[in-house]
Amino acid sequence: MIEIRNVSKTFDDSKAVDNVSVSIKENTVFGLIGTNGAGKSTVLRMVAGVLEQDEGEIAIDGLPVFDNMEAKRKIYFIADEPYFFANSNAVDMQKYLSTVYPEFAVSDYYTYLVNFGLDKKRKINTYSKGMKKQLALICGVCSGTKYLLCDETFDGLDPVMRQGIKSIFAGEMSKRGMTPVIASHNLRELEDICDHVGLLHKGGVLLSKDLEDMKCNIQKVQCVFKSNEDEARVIASLDIMKNEKRGSLNTLTVRGNKAEILAIFATVNTVFFEALPLSLEEIFISETEVVGYDIKKLILG
């Protein structure tokens, strides 16, 4: 488990991270969402031990991470702009990483290079941005570390490559319990891969919740009531987060268990009724609006 407790970091007079506390469970995909400047990269760099926090504690499986080689061997960090040795090729990187990470999967590494169409002898500085991202991800997956920290992982990858990387993540999680931590400014990119999502805003954690719990505890309902009395009875009985009404059509975002909500609607008469699945975007919009923020401005632009 990665434990981040009351962590803060300041650069000059700017507070990049402000009293952040997050727990990241093993064998899950954790998504760290936030706009540019929200503190995502700084948090990942502190978790990786690249930066030392000014305040608070960061522990990897109970071990303090900064300046601790035992803890760092459990982590592979992929920066937004991956670094490779000057004039190196993929073979050079494999030879180096194999000396740093004893569990480096050499055979898998070269298989992935072939599958992704990356020339192992071509100079990496001649690769495109997307190719460099692919190579960095292959290096991270093959490192054999328990935790893989990814800063803007899918930025620069085409949709086919994104799905390929997600499939590799799923396979590695199943095979050896790898735990990816993915920072992104794009909420939609993480919807189909994350188990738990944390929202950073202005250096602090605005929201951190299990995605499945969020989906199970927020429902979206569209309905037309037969009478005003029926409408009033339902409105009074539900924990309504948002109510949009166009003509006679009500679109309700409701907090609660789906079965309980359906049972309440069964007690009244409706002309039309439909329960709809919510996207991650809709869930976050609802959750953040409740605490006074508009995620559409924070994340979605």
With 70 as the cut, is the pLDDT of residue 72 above it? yes
* Three-class DSSP category at 238: coil
Quickly state the pLDDT bin for 66 (edges 50, 70, 90).
Answer: very high
Quickly state the pLDDT bin for 301 (edges 50, 70, 90).
Answer: very low
For the whole model, what pTM was predicted?
A: 0.79
Query: For 214-252, how does the pLDDT look when each residue is reduced to its tens digit (9 = 90+)?
Result: 777 888 999 999 999 999 999 999 988 888 889 999 999
The widest CA-to-CA distance across the chain, in whole angstroms, is 75
Res 147: pLDDT: 95
Q: Do 268 and 274 touch, CB atoms closer than 8 A?
A: no
Res 170: pLDDT: 86
Shortest CA distance to 139 belongs to which of 86, 193, 79, 78? 78
Q: CB-based contacts of 8: which residues, under 8 Å, 6+ apart?
A: 15, 17, 18, 19, 20, 53, 54, 55, 56
Q: CB-based contacts of 246: which residues, under 8 Å, 6+ apart?
A: none
> Domains in the chain, ordered, with CATH?
2-202 (3.40.50.300), 213-298 (3.30.70.1150)
Q: Which two tokens stand for residue 286?
A: 């609802």
Res 290: pLDDT: 59
Res 287: pLDDT: 65
Query: For 123-133, how does the pLDDT look when each residue is reduced to its tens digit (9 = 90+)?
Result: 999 998 889 99
Shortest CA distance to 187 belongs to which of 117, 281, 67? 281
**DSSP assignment of 36-70:** TTSSHHHHHHHHTTSS--SEEEEEETTEE-TT-HH
Mean pLDDT to the nearest integer, 109-121: 94
Q: Which two tokens stand for residue 204?
A: 């602090």
Mean pLDDT to the nearest integer, 28-42: 84
Q: CB-based contacts of 225: which residues, under 8 Å, 6+ apart?
A: 231, 234, 248, 250, 268, 269, 270, 271
Region of poorest pLDDT, from 30-44, 229-243, 247-261: 30-44
Percent of the chain at pLDDT exceeding 90 = 50
CB atoms closer than 10 angstroms to residue 286: 19
Whole-number average pLDDT of the chain: 86
Res 135: pLDDT: 94
